[in-house]
Amino acid sequence: MKEVVRTETAPAPFQGAPYSQAIRANGLVFVAGQVGIRPDDPRPVGAGIREQTEQTLANLRAILEAAGSSMDRLVKTTVFLTNLDDFQGMNEVYAKHVGDQPPARSTFEVGNLPPGLLVEIEAIAIQ
């Protein structure tokens, strides 16, 4: 059985796209890719990787909490960067949020994200 997770404290799916912020199923929470925008403003929070990563992780945290989970219960993340040269800046911010038992992670450079966005992070956590 699966349950849709929805919170107003994180951005809604882009332009009504057919996906959920997260799905809770079998004791796990699957969070859709989050980006560096605020829930009330579709524009990127800034032009830098650090600022966008901070907002991306704030959105991820809000969804996890709405699902009854938390950042310390993350088991896997996938990070998408438009430029792998931004890895160090993203990684410094990321490290502050995932604690001393970080989840497994994959990081990829992608050809494109929505205009102005530099990073997207999706996640799986224990509920």
CATH number of the domain to which 107 belongs: 3.30.1330.40
Task: Name the domain count of the chain.
Answer: 1
Domain of residue 114 covers 2-126
Q: What is the mean pLDDT of residues 45-70?
A: 97
Contacts of 74 (CB under 8 A, 6+ apart): 64, 98, 102, 103, 123, 124, 125
The model's pTM is 0.96
Tell me the per-residue pLDDT of 116-126, one tens digit each, with 9 for 90 and over.
Answer: 999 999 999 99
Task: Examine the pLDDT at 16 and tell me if it is beyond 80.
Answer: no
Residue 15 pLDDT > 90: no
Cβ neighbours, 10 Å, residue 72: 15
CA–CA distance, 109 with 28 (Å, rounded to integer)? 27
Cα distance between residue 67 and residue 22, in whole Å: 8
72-125 pLDDT, tens digit each: 999 999 999 999 999 999 999 999 999 999 999 999 999 999 999 999 999 999
